Amino acid sequence: MDKSENSTSEQTALGNAPLDMTGEEFRRVGHKLVDQIAAFLDGVRSRKVQSSDAVEKAQQFLGDQVLPSKGLSADEVMSDVSSLLIEKSLLTAHPRFWAYINGSASPIGALADMLAAAINPNLATWAVGPVASEIERQSVQWIAELMGYPRQAGGLLVSGGTVANITALLAARRAVLGAEVRRDGLRNSPQSRFYATVETHAWLEKAVDMMGFGEAAITRVETDAQLRMDTVHLAACIAEDRKAGYLPLAVVASAGTVSTGAIDPIKAIAALCCREKIWFHIDGCYGAAAAILPSAPADLQCLGLADSIAMDAHKWLYVPLEAGCVLVKDKNHLVDTFAHETGYYPVSDATMPLPVAYRDQGIQTSRGFRALKVWMCLRQAGREGYIDMIGSNITLAQHLADRITQTAALELRYQSLSIVTFRYNPGLKELPDGPLTNQVLNKINQKILKELQEEGWAYPSHAQIGGEFLLRVCITNFRTRLEDVDLLPGKVVECGAALI
Ligand SMILES: Cc1ncc(COP(=O)(O)O)c(C=O)c1O
């Protein structure tokens, strides 16, 4: 160790660790940051959703130097990066950010993350994070309640929908194939099959691949005109697979598909799975939150029929990333799937009976306190608050769909929950440089999307269905107002007309 390293170590030993801050310093830097964030949120509507020079400015700011040997003061570190992030990020907080399925993050979630990081409990075991674990338990119960899923189900919070879905299918694998699968893997198990439509999110391919089944284990079920699972075809697929010697392991239904928000016929699928004794999983990452609405579609009111369900709090519960939730009706399935004996974690005993540790119910060991932001959002909004926000998002999507239908050069394709897909089509047979084919329309709509995003007034995304490139608006955003969606059809037509 040379002398300079030694003197740094001495600073730490003297109570001046380079990463520590005095209360006074924390207050000064923190208050400034809170003021900056508050001003950003107050003014977000008047900003552009996207800044055209974001990548360039970020690269300029970061430069290409090696890890600096000398650190900076907290004031210096904070001041330039907070401005960069506010000025140059793609603003998911913007009222006209409508891309992918990305909730607008609640401000209280940001405060919760700060508090959670300050306390920094580890939710691997109840003993290390007792208060935090109890908050997670209540958050999971409240999420179950709002979706109409049994309160006593097992469940936990995870990073997001992909992991929530994979966790559920791991539980299904263990429940159906038995304890041996954890010791022997799949080598002694029958060849299994999973049933889903092509509209199912790509987490499913990841899941069957990672679980060792391979992507060929997915049997694709046909859809109806609204892109919902065709249950007659599902029954036929199951019968055919059984005849060929496969084991139908799980049906995966979507409560709100990623492209169009389609809700599979949950009730009918549940009945079929019950008859056929097949695990029934629902990917409710997007749509399950809408089950809270008194006017929810009938199939969303049947989520409780599934053996397991995944939902994303960072989508329609407006919790800042990352927060997904997995629920398994029989909580023993999670423990059977994930628990391991170890000699290095606290064990519960008769004098201090603790619930089963979260590390024994999911993939992670060390786990952060993401539950706090979930719990604080649920507490701030309450049931009525969520009914109001989610209901408003759906009403605005329906309004947009009506406006599109009334606009001659636009074609509405699908509207379900808060997703609307449509395209620009001027209805001409010929353009100056040739016929207006589907391929040409696809190119025009791609350009429209690019221009809308680059201009920064709004930020929709796209869907590709049946060979058509569609513009797609997904409103999981509590800042979106009627005036925002009202203006979009006109902007699209204006942009399209300038391109032909
Ligand atoms: C229906 C659906 N399922 C799963 C996912 C994956 O969720 P995450 O991105 O949180 O992993 C998404 C993401 O958009 C989704 O829309």
pLDDT grade, residue 47 (50/70/90)?
Answer: very high
* Residue 324 CB less than 6 A away from ligand 1: yes
pLDDT tens digits for 293-317?
Answer: 999 999 999 999 999 999 999 999 9
CA dist 83 → 25, 35, 79, 80, 467 (Å)? 19, 12, 7, 5, 42
**Secondary structure element (H or E) that encloses residue 155, with its range:** strand 154-158
Whose CA is closest to atom 5 on ligand 1? 161
Expressed in percent and rounded to 5, the helix, strand and coil fractions of the chain are 50, 15, 35
Q: Can you list the alpha helix ranges (DSSP code H) found in 246-312? A: 266-276
Residues 6+ apart with CB under 8 A from 4: none
Domains of the chain (ranges; CATH) run: 3-90 (no CATH), 121-368 (3.40.640.10), 387-499 (3.90.1150.170)
Q: Please return the burial class of 110, using the count of CB atoms within 10 Å of its CB with bins 0-12, 13-18 and 19+.
A: middle
Cα distance between residue 264 and residue 60, in whole Å = 47
* Mean pLDDT of the 412-421 span: 98
Rounded distance from Cα 26 to ligand 1 centre (Å) = 36
When the pLDDT of each residue in the chain is averaged and rounded to a whole number, the result is 95
Question: What pLDDT does 441 receive?
Answer: 97
Question: What pLDDT does 343 receive?
Answer: 77
Is the pLDDT at 11 greater than 90, yes or no? no
Minimum-distance ligand 1 atom for the alpha carbon of 100: 14
**Do 345 and 365 form a contact (C-beta atoms < 8 A)?**
no
pLDDT tens digits for 437-488?
Answer: 999 999 999 999 999 999 999 999 999 999 999 999 999 999 999 999 999 9
Is the pLDDT at 5 greater than 70, yes or no? no
Would you state the torsion angle of the CA atoms of residues 325, 328, 331, 333, taken in this order, to the nearest 10 degrees?
-120
* Residue 204 CB less than 6 A away from ligand 1: no
Q: Which of 260, 286, 318, 326 to mutate to test the pocket of ligand 1 (most atoms within 8 A of CB)?
A: 286
Rounded distance from Cα 11 to ligand 1 centre (Å) = 46
Least confident of 77-86, 220-229, 285-294: 77-86
Rounded distance from Cα 162 to ligand 1 centre (Å) = 6
Cα distance between residue 357 and residue 335, in whole Å = 9
Question: What pLDDT does 429 receive?
Answer: 83
Question: What pLDDT does 128 receive?
Answer: 85
Q: How far from chain centre, in Å, is Cα 193?
A: 26
Rounded distance from Cα 274 to ligand 1 centre (Å) = 26
* Residue 286 CB less than 6 A away from ligand 1: yes
Name which of 299, 320, 290 is nearest 37 in CA terms.
320
Rounded distance from Cα 172 to ligand 1 centre (Å) = 19
Question: What pLDDT does 353 receive?
Answer: 65
Rounded distance from Cα 78 to ligand 1 centre (Å) = 32
pLDDT tens digits for 60-72?
Answer: 999 998 999 999 9
| 352 C-beta neighbours (distance < 10 Å), count | 10
Whose CA is closest to atom 9 on ligand 1? 161
Minimum-distance ligand 1 atom for the alpha carbon of 101: 14
Helix (H, G, I), strand (E, B) or coil at 187: coil
* Mean pLDDT of the 73-93 span: 94
Is the pLDDT at 227 greater than 70, yes or no? yes
First to last CA, the chain: 69
* Residue 316 CB less than 6 A away from ligand 1: no
Name which of 434, 428, 153, 449 is nearest 309 in CA terms.
153
* Mean pLDDT of the 124-131 span: 90
Is the pLDDT at 426 greater than 50, yes or no? yes
Question: What pLDDT does 355 receive?
Answer: 83
Question: What pLDDT does 350 receive?
Answer: 57
pLDDT tens digits for 335-370?
Answer: 999 998 877 776 655 566 678 899 999 999 999 999
Rounded distance from Cα 161 to ligand 1 centre (Å) = 5
Give the percent of the chain with pLDDT over 90: 90
* Mean pLDDT of the 125-148 span: 95
Is the pLDDT at 229 greater than 60, yes or no? yes
Greater confidence (6 vs 169) lies with 169
* Mean pLDDT of the 103-128 span: 96
Handedness of CA 48, 49, 55, 57 (dihedral sign): positive
* Residue 264 CB less than 6 A away from ligand 1: no
* Mean pLDDT of the 265-276 span: 98
* Residue 160 CB less than 6 A away from ligand 1: yes
Question: What pLDDT does 79 receive?
Answer: 84
* Residue 285 CB less than 6 A away from ligand 1: yes
Question: What pLDDT does 3 receive?
Answer: 47
pTM over 0.85: yes
Helix (H, G, I), strand (E, B) or coil at 289: helix
Take residue 424 and report the two structure tokens written for it. 């620009």
